[in-house]
Structure 1
Amino acid sequence: MYVLDRGYLDYERFDRMTDDGYFFLSRLRKNAVIREVYEFKLPEDSAVLSDQLMLIGTTQNRTENYFRLLKVMDSKGNELPFITNRFDLSAEEISEVYKSRWAIELFFKWIKQPLNIKKFYGQSEWAIQNQVIIAFIVFCLHVLVQMEAKSKRKTLQISCYLRAALWKPAHIWLRKIEGKAIP
């Protein structure tokens, strides 16, 4: 099952994916033109606002397949419309699948920012695992240096100081990290 961001919204692609037997879940744009065909009954205690069978698009450019439109309330009170071709899962399960996507998104954001991995140098599973493990070790060492020096500086600043004074005596970069002037 492909879980897509609304930036990948392409109705023809959704029709092709459905015809080829692939499942998808995506957020729907608020300005999407939909025609409701059927409203599914929801359980009394459901967190889902609505569950509908619908066609999407205008009369000139409409999807060939029927899709499922779910409307869910997020933790901030915003209404999120989801489109999917999965009819075998409950509305709550589909909602949970999309929430899981955000956990994955945050994990990759963390890899790019604190671990500072901008690209992978190898293609194999081992190469990628090794690069992530090495980056994680470096991150942990930066945090340990920050804790040891009782510094309030950010990890990125500490990283810059360590790079700049890499081959200099430790007391030089420790003083910089601690914020003390170097005599």
Structure 2
Amino acid sequence: MAKRSAKPLKPRDFQGLKYVERLLPLLDQLHDVGCQRDRSGNRSLHYDQYCMLVLLFLFNPVLRSLRSLQQASTLNNVQRKLGCARASLGSLSEAVEVFEPERLRGIIESLAAEVKPVRDVRGGHLAHALTAVDGSVVKTLKTIAEAAFMNDKNGGSHSGWRLHTHFAIDRHVPTRIEVSAAANSGHNDEKNRLRAALQSDHCYVLDRWYAQFTLWNDIVAAGSSYVCRIRDNSNLNAVIEERPVSATAAAADVLRDFIVDLGAAKKPDERPAHRVRVILVKTTPHTKRGGRKGGTAGPPSDGVLRIATNLLDVPAEVIADIYRHRWTIELFFRFFKHVLGCRHLLSTHPKGIEIQAYCAIIACLLISLWTGRKPTLRSYEMICLYFAGWASLEELLDHISKLKSEET
């Protein structure tokens, strides 16, 4: 059966662009980025306009490819609202090699400063900003040859990119994404990427991959703290101090709380240079069922979470709750790939992927600012319906007001 051609886009498919217009003053500072190469002065697609088109792609399910985005740029309504002219497919493809992704970080910081905490996980016991850190791979097939000859044992392609992400747990928004090759090794190892991006006054919430003593030392040296799960087979025999488990902690499934001496005595340079506290928390046992399709590739668990931290004075139940909220970054990855449509990349160029990732962060921040709550599928769908003209502004505002009333 012949493949049906896509229906041409119409101006009415792009109603409700006034929300995106809010970004125009912030994006103005990007207008001249990349113009140094334009000696003839005939550049028609500027950085701010490209970002607005990417945001239009993220907020409108009608757009599914770079070609559809190019078609959208020909519509009068899009040109008028976004302040851009018709963009050729070549201009959209070439743009990512000229523009600078890191210039979007200042805009992200400006918007993130406006987002209020959704909830206080810390309970007033910790001043550091809770930041979950993890990486996720977005796969893409760059060539037919890679699809045919570079598959893993499960039939998946090795062609992909890893997104090294920092996620603000209290505000439920991402604050930083860096793009690297998919291989989690060498300079692109998630531990090394975190080490290079450490900031002060953050509490980094980490999974087992980050259980590296030298990384913990670097976090503490940067003036921050960590809450990190360690492996089930960790040697915890050198107990320095056993701490009593309060009734409140026991009710939160805390089994044990103690200070321990970690690391081999023969490698003093690789041992923690600070006191390490370990908290054992009861959880659901998990058995690995294999990495093939239909199985579970994650490591097994004996039903006990072993959480290491340098926070010696924070109640054990708060530490346990902080680690439980590490899962919010996994929910964001799902939202990022499946809801915002970032499983499909507009570009396979590293800069293009990073720009799309940063624009996705901006999209999440806008949803949080509009609704006053964490980005959800329902809110995203309602905004998309408004953009497509199926929902009125009053209906969108009514949806937002219901969310805020549920919060109170």
The interval holding the TM-score normalised by the smaller chain is 0.5 to 0.7
1:3 positional shift:
0.6
| Percent sequence identity over aligned pairs | 28
1:48 and 2:282 are equivalent in the alignment: no
Partner of 2:306 in structure 1? 81
Higher-RCO chain (CA-CA 8 Å, sequence separation at least 6): 2
Partner of 1:99 in structure 2? 324
Report the more deviating stretch, 80-89 or 98-107: 98-107
1:31 positional shift:
2.4
Q: Write the mapping of 1:14-29 to structure 2, written as runs, cut at 5 A.
A: 14-29=216-231
1:41 positional shift:
0.6
Task: Output the amino acid matched with 2:247.
Answer: E
Report the more deviating stretch, 18-27 or 112-121: 112-121
Distance, in Å, in 1 between the alignment partners of 2:281 and 2:219 is 24
Distance, in Å, in 2 between the alignment partners of 1:78 and 1:123 is 35
1:81 positional shift:
0.1
Match of 2:240 among 27, 37, 46: 37
Distance, in Å, in 2 between the alignment partners of 1:51 and 1:130 is 37
The TM-score normalised by the length of structure 1 is: 0.64
- How many residue pairs align between the two structures? 140
Name structure 1 gaps, 5 residues minimum: 142-183
1:18 positional shift:
2.0
Q: 1:113 to 1:125 in 2, by over 3 A?
A: closer
Deviations 1:49-90 (A, max 9, x none): 001111211111332321000000124581000000011210
Confirm or deny: 8 A CA contact 1:120 1:131 kept in the other structure.
no
The TM-score normalised by the length of structure 2 is: 0.31
Distance, in Å, in 1 between the alignment partners of 2:264 and 2:361 is 48
Partner of 1:9 in structure 2? 211
Q: Write the mapping of 1:52-67 to structure 2, written as runs, cut at 5 A.
A: 52-61=258-267, 62-67=271-276
1:21 positional shift:
2.2
Q: Write the mapping of 1:152-171 to structure 2, written as runs, cut at 5 A.
A: none
1:95 positional shift:
0.6
SS at match of 1:113: helix
1:6 positional shift:
0.9
- Please give the root-mean-square deviation of Cα atoms over the aligned residues, in Å: 3.1
Name structure 2 gaps, 5 residues minimum: 1-202, 286-301, 344-352, 368-376, 386-408
Q: 1:58 to 1:139 in 2, by over 3 A?
A: farther
Distance, in Å, in 1 between the alignment partners of 2:207 and 2:362 is 25
Confirm or deny: 8 A CA contact 2:254 2:281 kept in the other structure.
yes
Distance, in Å, in 2 between the alignment partners of 1:114 and 1:126 is 11
Q: 1:139 to 1:58 in 2, by over 3 A?
A: farther
1:113 and 2:338 are equivalent in the alignment: yes
